[in-house]
Every structure is written in C-alpha cells, then in structure tokens.
Amino acid sequence: MALKHREITEQILQAFYKVYHVLGHGFLEKVYENSLAVELRERGLAVQQQAPIRVLYNEHPVGEYFADLVVEGSVIVEIKAAQALTDEHFAQLINYLKATGIEVGLLLNFGPKPEVKRKVFETAKKKASGEETRRGDPRTTVRVRSPRAIQDSGGEDGADNTDR
C-alpha cells in the first residue's frame, strides 16, 4: 500500500535527521522548529510555523492551538525535545489531524535518541467512499497559509491510529 504524501514526508524526515545531526539534543523545541523550517524551505517546501487551529463548540470558539509546522498544506509536524515520546504527544497529534482534516502527521523527537512516528487520520466517511477531499471536524476550523490551503468542512470522523 502506498504511503500518503510519501515524497513530502521523506523530505521532512531527511531534514529532521540533518538537523538532529548538526544540533544534537538539548535545545528547546523552538530551536528545532526554526531549524527544521529553514531546512525544509531550503528544500523548496512551503512551511507554515505555528499554524493556528481554532476549536469551536456549538459555533463558539472554545480553544486555539498551534501546530508546530504544516508542510505543503498536507502534513502536520509536531516537534518534541523530550526524553521519549508519550501517549500525550500522540493524542495531541491525532487531535490536530482530526481538527484540521489534514490526514498525515509526523511526531519528531529531538531527544537523547531521535524518534519519528508517522500517524494517519482518515474520516470514516472517506474510508467508506474512497473520497479524496479533506474534511475536518465540523466543530473546528484551521487557517493554513500554503499553496494548498485547508478549508474546513463537515464530516464524520473516525481515527485510523496505525503507523503508516
């Protein structure tokens, strides 16, 4: 089975390992975020840092979060500088994917050893129909500045939390 956004995620992973090799571990997440953004832009990829994700409940804003990086409007990258990745880190990434309708996310840890996890989130409706349009949770909105802007639309949600 072909990986979604394989070309983009391969470039992100190459950039991650390059940044890790140059900087090592021990810096704050922001240093790695900025370095990775520079590296990805130098590779010709569109990168938005701190992409806002606004959560709505019954049409009322109830929270706003920020994805570390959105690459090419297709992949959310969450950066950590922790001893190890935790369940909370995975939950954060899955919620960002669910809220935005973006299907592919990478969790990158610049810890004592480099860690990478790839998560895919597909809506239940899309799985059933094979549909290719992005659908976010109707209670959330996202504004992503990139060549392929994400537009919020309603849809049934269901997580596919397997690594791909």
Going by C-alpha positions, the residue among 93, 151, 152, 136 that lies closest to residue 118 is 93
Give, as one character, the DSSP assignment of residue 36.
H
Helix segments in the chain, DSSP class H:
6-23, 29-42, 87-100, 124-129
pLDDT at 59: 86
pLDDT at 57: 85
Residues 6+ apart with CB under 8 A from 160: 120, 121, 122, 127
In angstroms, rounded to a whole number, what is the distance separating the alpha carbons of residues 111 and 74?
25
Could you say which residues of the chain have pLDDT below 70? Answer: 1, 123-164
Give, as one character, the DSSP assignment of residue 3.
P
Tokens of 153: 């639309």
Instruction: From residue 129, give the alpha-carbon distance in Å to each of 26, 125, 132, 156, 157.
Output: 45, 6, 9, 12, 13
Q: Residue type for 151, please?
A: Q
Fold of 6-142: Trna Endonuclease; Chain: A, domain 1 (3.40.1350)
Instruction: For the chain, give every domain's residue range.
Output: 6-142
pLDDT digits (tens, 9 = 90+) for 103-150: 999 999 999 999 999 999 875 445 544 544 334 444 344 444 333 333
- Residue 93: Cβ-neighbour burial (10 angstroms; 0-12, 13-18, 19+): buried
pLDDT at 73: 95
